[in-house]
Structure 1
């Protein structure tokens, strides 16, 4: 098996297992078995579990943000519709049978005190997501404060959907985001 294929198989197995069960609950043997590679091959590619976790989170970050942006790019012509499309994408994600919450929130909760790399990966992902939302909300004419509030709505929807087991938080957050965008678009009346 060539290096690229082995790496992809290991990362696929790690992603499935770490995301479904948690990073601490999954050993390297389980990843090896699921990937169908030898332990020697796995350790050649990922010398430690920490290296594998970092690679898993980096790949998940890129894929997640790319999938979101691809969805938003296919949405209607208005900048406001693009902001709201984020919540439609979140709702679709929350409705999947393999949804277990945000992998970055989960990994941070598990390992924040013991793994600076996981903390850095989680912060990087959230910073990138919030920057993307800021870009969308600014294009829709919203203030930076509204963009930050919309980011909090998205983050809250992720956590609430994971706990509640329903995609409904995305719809509620979308309605609140629409209200924020509408209020932000209104001109402020000057005192007479």
Structure 2
């Protein structure tokens, strides 16, 4: 990353290195020494900023969460007042995010949740924050759009969102003759179905 250049603050270099390595190789498989080498800092510098690896993991997820939230906020702003566009903005935001950070290995939060199982771990609140943002915002947008079952629509969109992230991993292993429709198109069909008034 460009921000990991010589002029970048040590904390930024540490977070950049942690993000690359944790996402690429996994949290447990990435030792502190690997982060130090990638960031080009001494152990004392790491511990001046973070009490230990667990807190570095938490800071990595916090930064990723905040980047995602701001990206989605911007997509919502572009969607304006159109309730259908606002519901689909989560998929637009995912495309926007792909341009600035790697999403080719799926969801960083779901991957971290497999490894961070202790609710007392300092990173655990950021796993909850990610799920809370997605479920809460999608349900609110579905209700604002007039869906007859906002919870069901939000759940369906979340499944498609998770599927979109998983599909990005599979794109490096294409199956000949198999061409799935864009996930956003599937989401648009789901939105249209849920916004249609239920029959008598």
Q: Which TM-score band (shorter chain)?
A: 0.7 to 0.9
- Name the Cα RMSD after superposition: 2.9
Q: Given that residues 55 and 122 in structure 2 are in contact (C-alpha distance below 8 angstroms), is that contact kept between their aligned partners in structure 1?
A: no
- What displacement does 1:188 show? 2.9
Deviations 1:139-177 (A, max 9, x none): 2222322122212221222223324448x87823x2232
Q: Given that residues 14 and 56 in structure 1 are in contact (C-alpha distance below 8 angstroms), is that contact kept between their aligned partners in structure 2?
A: yes
Alignment of 1:54 with 2:64, yes or no, is no
Segment of structure 1 superposing worse, 139-148 or 109-118 = 109-118
SS in 2 for 1:101: coil
- What displacement does 1:54 show? 0.9
TM-score of the two chains, using structure 1 as the length reference: 0.81
Unpaired runs of at least 5, structure 1: none
| Equivalent residue, structure 2, for 1:72 | 76
| Equivalent residue, structure 2, for 1:146 | 153
Whole-angstrom distance in 2 between the partners of 1:105 and 1:122: 8
Residues 84 and 20 of structure 1: CA distance in aligned 2, closer, same or farther (over 3 Å): same
- What displacement does 1:98 show? 3.1
Q: 1:130 aligns with which of 125, 135, 154?
A: 135
Whole-angstrom distance in 1 between the partners of 2:101 and 2:70: 21
Residues 80 and 12 of structure 1: CA distance in aligned 2, closer, same or farther (over 3 Å): same
- Structure ranking higher in helix proportion: 1
5 Å matches for 1:38-187?
38-75=42-79, 77-91=81-95, 93=97, 98-99=102-103, 100-112=105-117, 116-142=121-147, 143-144=149-150, 145-165=152-172, 171-172=182-183, 174-187=184-197
Aligned length: 186
TM-score of the two chains, using structure 2 as the length reference: 0.78
